[in-house]
Chain A
Amino acid sequence: MNPSHDPQLLKGVLSPVLLQLVAERESYGYELVQRLHDLGLTGVADGTVYPALARLEREGRVVARLVSSRSGPARKYYRPTPTGYDALTTGASGWRALADIVTPLFDRPLPERPAAPQEED
C-alpha cells in the first residue's frame, strides 16, 4: 500500500515536478493531473495543479500554446521557458539537498522515550 502523501509536502515540490513533466513532454492541465496520478501522486487535487500552472506561466517559467482538439475546445499546452529550466534545476537540486539531510535523519532509530534535555554550559 502506498503511503499517503502529505499535501503540504507536495505543495512545496509541485512546481518543480510540473516543470519536470512539461520539460519531458508538452502537456495540458488535465493531462498533467493524469501524469501525476500515474507517478503515484494521487492525492494532488486537480484544483491544485491548474492554479500552479497559472502561477508558473505568470512567473515566466512556462509558456503555453493552444492546440485544437478533435474531442472538444482547443487545449492549452505548456512547456518550460529558459527561466523555467533554471527553476527546475534549482528546485531539483534543492529537493535533493533536503532529501540528503532528511532521509538519514528518518533512518535513525528512535529511543523508547525522548532523552532528557542537555544542560547548557
Chain B
Amino acid sequence: MASTLTLLDHLRIEYAIVRVDVMISALSLERQEEILGELRTNLRAASEKMGSAEAVRRLGGLRRLARSYLDVEYGDPGPRPRWLIGILWVFVVVGVLLAVAFAGSLGFVHGVLAADPEASGTYAWHALAPVVRSEDFVFSGGRLHSFGVAFSAPVLAVPAVALGAAVLAIGARAWRCLPLWRRG
C-alpha cells in the first residue's frame, strides 16, 4: 500500500526524531540509530492512521520518551550529562571569543587610520596577550596591506584547553555524573 504521508508529515516526524536524538545523545551512536530508526517506523505507521500531529502527540511527551530510553540503558532515573549540548557551548564560546578578537582588531585598524589617514608601516596590537604575542597590521598609504598573528608559546594552550574543558563540563552539566548528585 502506498504511503499517504505528506511532506509536512515527514517534516513533523523528522523534527520529533531530531529532538529525541538530542536528548538521547548520552547513548552510543549505534543505540541511538536503533532507537531512532524504530521510532521513525512507528511514527510513520501511526501517522498513516491518524496524521503526524496526533501521532507525535500520542507519544506522550518527547522529553519523557527520551528519559525512558535513557533509564532503560542506565537503570537509574534522573538527569544525565548532555555532552552534545556541552560541545555546542564550546563552539559558542569559541565563536564569541573570535568575534570579540575580530571586533578588537577592526577597532585597532580604524584607530590607526583615524590617527593617521595616510598610515604606512607595521603596527603591532598586543591586546590579546599572552595568548597572542601580537597581531601585526601592515599599512601602505592609508590602506591595510596585510596582517599577521604571532601566537605565544604552546604551553599557553593549556589554559585554553582548560577553558574549553570547563565550558564543556558546565554546558553538559557534567556534575550529573557524580553518584552523590544522581542519588539526589
A contacts, CB < 8 Å to B = 28-31, 33, 45-48, 50-51, 54-55, 58, 69-76
Contacts and interface: CB of A to CB of B under 8 A. Distances in A.
Contact of A50 (B2, B3, B65, B71): B65
B159 interface: no
A55 B59 contact: no
Interface in B24-78: 35, 37-42, 44-46, 48, 55, 58-62, 64-65, 68-69, 71-73
B41 A76 contact: yes
Given A48-B68, A55-B72, A72 B38 contact: no
Nearest to B64: A47
A55 B67 CA distance: 13
B65 A33 contact: no
Contacts of B1: 70-71
Interface string B91-115: 0000000000000000000000000
Contacts of B55: 46
A51 B174 CA distance: 25
A54 B60 contact: no
Contacts of A72: 3, 41, 44-45
By DSSP majority rule, is chain B's interface helix, strand, loop, or mixed?
helix
B28 to A, nearest CB: 13
Q: 6 closest Cβ contacts across the A-B interface?
A: A45-B60, A51-B68, A47-B59, A47-B65, A47-B60, A30-B45
A47 B61 contact: yes
Given A47-B59, A47-B68, A51-B69, A71 B3 contact: yes
Interface of B: 1-3, 35, 37-42, 44-46, 48, 55, 58-62, 64-65, 68-69, 71-73
B42 A74 contact: no
Given A30-B41, A72-B41, A76-B41, 11 more contacts: A29-B41, A31-B45, A33-B46, A45-B58, A45-B59, A45-B60, A47-B58, A47-B59, A48-B68, A51-B71, A72-B3
A46 B1 CA distance: 23
A50 B69 CA distance: 9
Contacts of A48: 60, 68
Nearest to B46: A30
B68 A75 contact: no
A54 B41 contact: no
Contacts of A70: 1
A46 B72 CA distance: 16
Contact of B40 (A28, A55, A69, A73): A73
